[in-house]
Amino acid sequence: MTTVVLNGVTALSPAGHLGVIRAEGPDAASFLHGQLTQDFSLLGSGDARLAALCTAKGRVIASFIGIKPQPELILLVCSRDILAATLKRLSMFVLRAKVKLTDATDQFALYGLAGTALADNGLDAALPPGKRIAVGDDVSVVSLYPADGVPRALWIAPAGHPAPVGPALDDSLWQWSEVRSGIVTLTTPVIDAFVPQMINYESVGGVNFKKGCYPGQEVVARSQFRGTLKRRAYLVQADAPVSVGQEVFAANDAEQPVGTVAQAAPAPGGGWAALVSMQIAALEAGGLRAGAADGPALTVEPLPYPLLEDI
């Protein structure tokens, strides 16, 4: 693993890779509660939720970080490349619900904070992931999973608001830290490729198994409670470029892929980091390669969080 000083602030929107969906109205929480894998009806002002939107077959077609800055307002942060299609799909199910869904990306400025940049902005670096902090009346800060032990946060402010203070952090370093955190942000190449457990969402608070129905809920629950989990996401390194959507092969079978690259980024100083969703049995087989049986070799590293066992 490359030793990196991950410290500073990087802009993530509006020119960056993240966007914002705004859900506003008296039914905003109940509507999202019925559509996503997470419990939004109990979302408090001091919390953030990782969540997924699934098809009826339980396949993830979008992932979000959700916050509730006002009683009738929820903001969903997602990858910008899937935002338009996601907004269109959610809007199909509004029907009589008193909620308005809009693309609010241009209304907000998003920044990633890492290392001492949190303390520079008066934030507690020891907060566990999934907490929302209000900074003044307008700014929300979400504590994220750390990368190699370095604390990170997402700063969400109205467009035009002063940026957080701190040294500039290159966007490529932030993207690398996203991979190293072990949390998959879904993008276009892997839409409809995984059930939530295949990207470890049940292990990082992205699925609530006690809430009511949502699209794909039966499939997701069956995967969890009937011992049918065969794939997980793993953190890997490679010496050559890998890309999202690439198939992964193991040494014992050059023809049949055992997994898919879910997220990838170049590593500082050379090489690549990636999150690979693959068959659990493939770990034992070893000899993992990206793209083809003779593609870049993949070295599996420990995840930064424990995986929940099948129930």
Per-10-residue mean pLDDT, the chain, length 311: 77 89 97 96 93 97 97 97 98 95 97 96 94 91 96 96 95 96 98 96 94 90 76 96 97 91 95 96 90 95 86 41
- Which pLDDT score is estimated for 15? 72
- Which pLDDT score is estimated for 311? 41
- Which pLDDT score is estimated for 3? 56
- Which pLDDT score is estimated for 284? 82
Q: Give dist(CA 246, CA 32) in Å, integer.
A: 31
- Which pLDDT score is estimated for 228? 66
- Which pLDDT score is estimated for 227? 64
Q: Give dist(CA 50, CA 201) in Å, integer.
A: 8
| 3-state helix, strand and coil shares in percent for the chain, rounded to the nearest 5 | 20, 35, 45
- Which pLDDT score is estimated for 199? 97
Enter the pTM of the model.
0.95
CB 29 within 8 A of CB 45: no
- Matching residue, tokens 């939004």: 40
The tokens for 152 are: 């990170």
- Which pLDDT score is estimated for 226? 66
Separation in Å, CA 55 to CA 25, 58, 194, 295, 306: 25, 5, 10, 32, 27
Q: Give dist(CA 297, CA 237) in Å, integer.
A: 8
CB 236 within 8 A of CB 206: no
- Which pLDDT score is estimated for 1? 45
CB 279 within 8 A of CB 229: no
Separation in Å, CA 50 to CA 77, 105, 153, 163, 234: 10, 18, 14, 24, 19
